[in-house]
Amino acid sequence: MNDRITSADRADTEDGPAEVPALDLVLYPHRSLSPSGFLIVMGAVAGLSFAIGLIVFLAGAWPVVGFLGLDVALIYFAFRLNYRAARAHETIRVAAGEVEVVKIDSTGRRRRHVLPSAWLTVTLDERPRGGTRLILRSRGKGLEVGAFLGDDEKCSLADALRDGLRRATLPPHLYVSNSN
């Protein structure tokens, strides 16, 4: 799919090898600015603010320099908050009897949801103001997954989940992949 949706590694248990799931994914929110890009952007903002501050200081408007420094600090803290939010991610594991979704927020708090795979449907719901929601529905319960993904990525994820559900419910000798 892309670098925001990757396969997770499963460790073996004490009882032997772990059950091999039909699908095992980790979803990460997209962050287009790398750490080195962040340094470049902050250097450019600080340099531009310094140059403007020097000009207005020499022109006699010295109080403006403090506000320019405040702008640089606010931009820095906004980026840091954005990077902290990027720690949030979701894991989705499709096995023979269940689908496990673990949502981990930016503070590390985990919420685990387990849905029976026999009754699970994967739907893409259109939002009134545009965009889609990827919902896993089972026995009257709905769970949104991949809310931070783009619409194309949600469609790819929905296809992967449907394929994983087929693999989880069919015996291996009856499964035929749709990818050919």
For residues 41 and 107, state if they share a domain: no
CATH number at residue 110: 2.30.29
Same domain, yes or no, for 110 and 24? yes
Residue 142 lies in a domain: yes
Q: Is 121 helix (H, G, I), strand (E, B) or coil?
A: strand
Question: Is residue 146 included in any domain, yes or no?
Answer: yes
The answer to the question of residue 177 being in a domain is no
Evaluate whether residue 180 is within a structural domain: no
**CB within 8 A of 159, min separation 6: which ones?**
none
Question: Does residue 14 lie in a domain region?
Answer: no
Show Cβ contacts of residue 44 under 8 Å, excluding neighbours closer than 6 positions.
Answer: none
Q: Looking at the structure, do residues 109 and 152 belong to the same domain, yes or no?
A: yes
Q: What is the pLDDT of residues 17-50, one digit of tens each?
A: 456 778 889 998 887 788 899 999 999 999 999 9
pTM of the shown model: 0.67
- 47 & 104 share domain: no
Instruction: Encode burial over 81-95: b for 16+ CB neighbours within 10 A, e otherwise.
Output: eeeeeeebbbbbbbb
Q: How many domains does the chain have?
A: 2
Q: pLDDT digit string (tens) for 80-122?
A: 888 888 888 999 999 888 899 999 998 889 999 998 887 788 9
Domain that includes residue 45, residue range? 35-85
Are 167 and 115 part of one and the same domain? yes
Tokens found for residue 59: 């022109």
Contact indicator for 4, 28 with CB cutoff of 8 Å: yes
Q: b/e map of 123-161 (b: 16 or more CB within 10 Å)?
A: eeeeeeeeebbbbbebeeeeeebbebbeeebbebbbebb
Residue 68 has pLDDT above 90, yes or no: yes
Do 112 and 51 lie in a common domain?
no
Angle between helix axes 35-58 and 63-85 (nearest 10 degrees) is: 170
Name the pLDDT band for 141 (thresholds 50, 70, 90).
Answer: confident
Q: Which residue has the higher pLDDT, 10 or 145?
A: 145
Note whether residue 178 is domain-resident: no
Which pair of tokens denotes residue 131?
Answer: 């965009």
